[in-house]
Amino acid sequence: MEGSRHEKAAVTIASYLIGFVTAFILYANVIAPSQGSYLVPAVVTNNVAGVVAAVTPVAVDVPVIPAKPETKVTYLDGNLEVTVGDTINLLSFNPDLSNANVEVVDLVQGYHYGEMTYAISEDQKFVFFCERQDKSEPTCSGFVYDVNADRIYSVIKNGTPVSITARSASDTIWTLFGLKIGSHYSANPKAPWVLIADDSTLDLR
C-alpha cells in the first residue's frame, strides 16, 4: 500500500514536470518566437532574392559613337582660321597684317583688307565670312565654309555672287533655316550660301 502511494506520487510529480517542460518549450518556440527569426523568415528571404534577380542589369552591346571635335573660329594677326580637332584651315588673310607670304593678284578668294566679319553656325557646320578685296570698295564678298566638306562657297543670289555692305555683313546671323544677311535668307539650310531669289537687292545702307 505504502509503495503504491509513493509510486502514484512519483508519477504525478513526473507528469507535472513533463507538462511544465512541454509548456515551456511550446512557449519559447511557438508563442514567443525570437525576434530574429520573426523579422527574417525563409519566405521573405526568397522573395527578396527574387526581386534582386529581376532587376539585375543585363549587358547590352551599345555602339560607341565618338564625340565630334569642336569647331573653333579665330581671327588673329590678320588670319581667319578654323580649327577642327587637330586640323587648322586658313580661310582668309589680310596682306597688311598677316605673315602669310602669298601673292594676292591671282587669288579670287582667300584674302581681305580692313576688318573681317565672320559668324559660325550653331551646329558648327558652316562659317560665314565677308572679304573686302579692294581697299577703295565699301562692300565685301560673302563666303560660306562648309566644315564637313572642307569647301568654300560664294554667297549667291539668282546664281550670281552678291556684294554686301559692312553693316549687313556685321548683322549677319545664323538661324534654324540657315544664313540671314539683312532681310535675305538662305533658300536651303543645307546650302546656306544660296540666298532666296526675289526682286529686292541687298541693303546697301
Supply the pLDDT for residue 132. Answer: 94
Residue 200: name the closest of 167, 158, 171 by CA: 158
Same-domain pairing of 93 and 189: yes
Same-domain pairing of 109 and 149: yes
Domain extent at residue 7:
2-55
* Half-sphere exposure for 141 (CA within 13 Å, toward CB): 16
The residues near 203 (Cβ < 8 Å, ≥ 6 apart) are 165, 167, 168, 182, 183
CB atoms within 10 A of CB 191: 15
Same-domain pairing of 94 and 161: yes
- Total structural domains within the chain: 2
Tens place of pLDDT per residue across the chain (205 aa): 555 666 666 666 666 667 665 655 655 555 544 444 344 444 444 444 455 555 565 666 667 776 677 889 999 999 999 999 889 999 999 999 988 878 888 888 999 999 899 999 999 999 999 999 998 889 999 999 999 999 999 999 999 999 999 899 999 999 988 999 988 999 889 999 999 865 444 543 3
Supply the pLDDT for residue 68. Answer: 73
Could you tell me the pTM of the whole model?
0.64
Same-domain pairing of 114 and 159: yes
Q: Decide if 62 is inside a domain.
A: no
Euclidean distance between CA atoms 33 and 29, whole angstroms: 5
The residues near 89 (Cβ < 8 Å, ≥ 6 apart) are 81, 82, 83, 145, 150
Q: Decide if 205 is inside a domain.
A: no
Same-domain pairing of 93 and 172: yes
Same-domain pairing of 117 and 84: yes
Same-domain pairing of 144 and 87: yes
Q: What φ, ψ does residue 111 adopt, rounded to 5°?
A: -140, 160
Residue for grid cell 581671327: 75
